[in-house]
Each structure stands twice: as structure tokens, then as C-alpha cells.
Amino acid sequence: MLPTKLSLTAARHCGISMALWPRSAPYTTRYIDSYVLAVTLYGFYIFMCHTPPLSTGSNAVGQFIAGGGDKCPFRKMLRTDVYFHYFQPVPLARLREVFRDLWGISLSSVPLLRSIRFVAEQLAPVTESIRVALQTEPVVSTDETGMRVMRHLYGFHTVSTPLLTCLFAHPKRGRDAIDAMDILPHRTGTTVHDGLPTYDAYPGTQARCNAHHGRELTAVTEATDTARSAGAAQARQDALRARYDLLIRTGLAENPAVDLPPGRRRWPAPSFTRNLLERLDTKRDEVLCFLTDLTIPFDNNLAERDLRMAKVRQKVSGTFRTEEGATRFAAVRGYLSTARKQGQSMFAVLRSPIEGEPWQPLR
């Protein structure tokens, strides 16, 4: 895309006119304005001093505009690269095609990666403020999933509320990652999760995701075709604790524990149905806490939705090639998810870190 405007800055030297001084060819850099689809060519001259008595051979050098220079195309170019790459998410190769097809600009991956890295670095204080805010929220949802990073399986963890999202990438999936994320160890409120036993070790009230229980009950119903399992699913919908107790006792009676067969030293593994009924029985307070506290959601689908685009990114791009790339993705994606929850324009919140003042979320 050819420049549509030329802007040259003057050099200053000793307060003496440099109109007749020898000068070099202009040093230029392009600034791509995404909103008016225009390119401004900024530049300056270098003058050689030959004015007595200051004829010392020193040079007077002009300056690029503030924020310009060799970083100008990377800092102020289209916010489209970060938006498409992290929010939509479009691979770098296809993002280069977008620039070429829409604006006639042929870019390598380097300027795109530099602008993405710059935005991620500017978001560090915002990510920290979100993390601290989540420590004191009364109710949060949390979830985790595996992601491929450098051919290794990393853990992507999220802690979410209707207004805040924190994503975190870690080489481990479990307690090491949760401790490094440094949110759950400080909480005293309610944490809704999918039943991973690791969460039970952390302070605060634990609540189980009943969407998971519903899917498991559906699987039991389809596998065993029993009316009792379908009744348990209906009990979840009716929210009748007495009915729940009755169905659990009936289910345990119909699926008794397996006795040790004669001549065998090892107990056979209990059935899937028996395991599910025992978990619903022993963790009933965590399963049914949404009945007595209406601020606790029925499930942790909020956290699952915040993780979904990470899985989409993996399906599109296959893997993260570096740990730094996975960490940047988690930071930017958490920032954009929080902004979308609070009704912000994606381009506006991407412009603010480029200008050095990242948008700060409300609690």
C-alpha cells in the first residue's frame, strides 16, 4: 500500500539556519492508520554542520514523531492483528492474507509477532489486578484443560466471574498450576468446579458443577436403561432434597458394593454407576449448595466457556511453539474476555495498551 501522506520533521542545531547545509536522503518509516486505511510516511534529514566557527563536522539529526521510529509500524499498526489472532483466533498465515487482500500490504510474521508481544507486555498490570480481584470475589467458577505447547501437554486453568476472566498456562495440570496461579489459595468464598479432587484441598466453600452430574446421569440412563437413573436426573431439576436422598439410597441398594470373590486377593473395581452414586452421596452438600445459596450457579459453564476459545485455537493452529506464546495468549485472551463481559469495544481496549494506558476492568 503506497503512502498517501508525507511528513518530514525539522532538525535543530545551534539555532542556526540549516537551509544551505548538505543533507542526506530522508530516513523514513511508515505509519499504517487502520481506521482511514491510509499510510503516512514519516521521515527526517541528517545535516552536516559547515557553519563557522562551529564547523566541526558534527551532524544535526531530525527525530521521528513521538511513538514513531522503527517501532511505529508495530505499535500503531492495525489492532486487527491482535484482535484476529487472539480473539477470533486466526493463524498468522491467514492474518497475513487479510493484510494483503484488504490493504495490499505484504507483511512477514515478524511485525505481527512484535505487535502481539508488545500488547501482551503492556497487559501485565491488568492481569495482576484481575488476579487480585478474583481472590476476594464471593463466588467464582474454575475449570482446566490440556493444551499442546512445544509437543508437551500444558495445563490451561481459568477462574471466572460474570465480569472477570483470568487465564493461566502452566507446564503442570493440577495443584502446581493452581498454586502458581495464586488465586484459590487466598479465597474464602465459594468455588464452583467440575469435581477435580485437587480443589477440595483449598480454603473456602466448594460447589460441584451439576451439568457434569447431569451428563453422567444421562450416560447411566442410556447404558442401563433404568427408570431410577432418569428419576435422579428429574430430581436434580425439581431440586427436592428429600427426593434426592431417596433416589440415592434406592440407587445404592440396586447397585450394591461388589464382594471379594473367593480365592481372589484384589477387590474388583466398582461399576461406573456405583462410583457416581457414592460421589453424589458423600458430596451432597457440595452438589446441592445452589439450593440454599442463590448466588452459587448450578454449574461451572462460565469457566468452560472462557476456556473454549483456547481449545479452538489449538484446533486451528495445532500447538503453541513456545511457552512464552502460551503465556501471552492466556494474558491477552483473559483481558479481552473480561472487556467483552463488561461491554467494552474490542478495538478500543486494544488501542489503550498500545498507547501505554491499558484499560482497567471494573469489579
Span 245-255, average pLDDT: 85
Cα separation, 73 vs 71, whole angstroms: 6
What is the structure's pLDDT at 73?
A: 44
294-315 residue pLDDT tens: 888 888 889 988 888 888 888 8
Is residue 346 assigned to a domain? yes
Do the beta carbons of residue 206 and residue 157 sit within 8 Å?
no
Mean pLDDT on 19-33: 54
Q: Measured between alpha carbons, how far is 29 from 7 in angstroms, rounded to an integer? A: 10
312 found inside a domain: yes
Assess if residue 108 is contained within a domain. no
| Lowest mean pLDDT segment, chosen from 100-114, 198-212, 213-227, 309-323 | 213-227
Q: What is the pTM of this model?
A: 0.66
Q: What percent of the chain shows pLDDT beyond 90? A: 17
22 and 131 co-located in one domain: no
Are 21 and 132 in the same domain?
Answer: no
Instruction: Render 254-317 in DSSP notation, one character per residue.
Output: HSPPPPPPTT-SSPPPPPHHHHHHHHHHHTHHHHHHHHH-TTS-SS-HHHHHHHHHHHHHHHHH
Residue 98 lies in a domain: no
CB 245 within 8 A of CB 288: no
The CATH number of the domain holding residue 178 is 3.30.420
Show which of 44, 74, 104 is a domain's final residue.
74
Mean pLDDT of the chain: 76
Query: Do residue 233 and residue 201 come from a single domain?
Result: no
Q: How confident is the model at residue 290 (pLDDT cuts 50, 70, 90)?
A: confident
Count up the domains in the chain and report the number. Answer: 3
Q: Are residues 20 and 54 in the same domain?
A: yes
> Residue 335 domain-assigned?
yes
Q: What is the pLDDT of residue 21?
A: 53
**116 inside domain:** no
- Predicted confidence (pLDDT) at residue 45 exceeds the cutoff of 60: no
User: Which grid cell is 118?
Assistant: 508488545
Q: Which residue is associated with the grid cell 461399576?
A: 271
Q: Which of 54-68, 102-116, 150-164, 283-297 has the highest mean pLDDT?
A: 150-164
58 pLDDT higher than 60: no
- More confident: 215 or 4: 215
Specify whether 307 is located in the same domain as 340. yes
pLDDT band at 20 (very low <50, low <70, confident <90, very high): low
Give me the mean pLDDT over the 304-333 stretch.
85
The answer to whether residue 22 is domain-embedded is yes
pLDDT band at 65 (very low <50, low <70, confident <90, very high): very low
Domain interval for residue 315: 121-208+300-351
Residues 45, 151 within the same domain: no
Q: Are residues 136 and 147 in the same domain?
A: yes
Q: Are 154 and 284 part of one and the same domain?
A: no
**Predicted local confidence at residue 222, as pLDDT:** 67
* Better-predicted residue by pLDDT, 266 or 65: 266
The residue-averaged pLDDT of 216-226 equals 67
pLDDT of residue 44: 54
Q: Same domain, yes or no, for 162 and 57? A: no
Q: Are residues 196 and 330 in the same domain?
A: yes
Domain contains 16: yes
Is 171 found in the same domain as 228? Answer: no
Q: Are residues 135 and 200 in the same domain?
A: yes
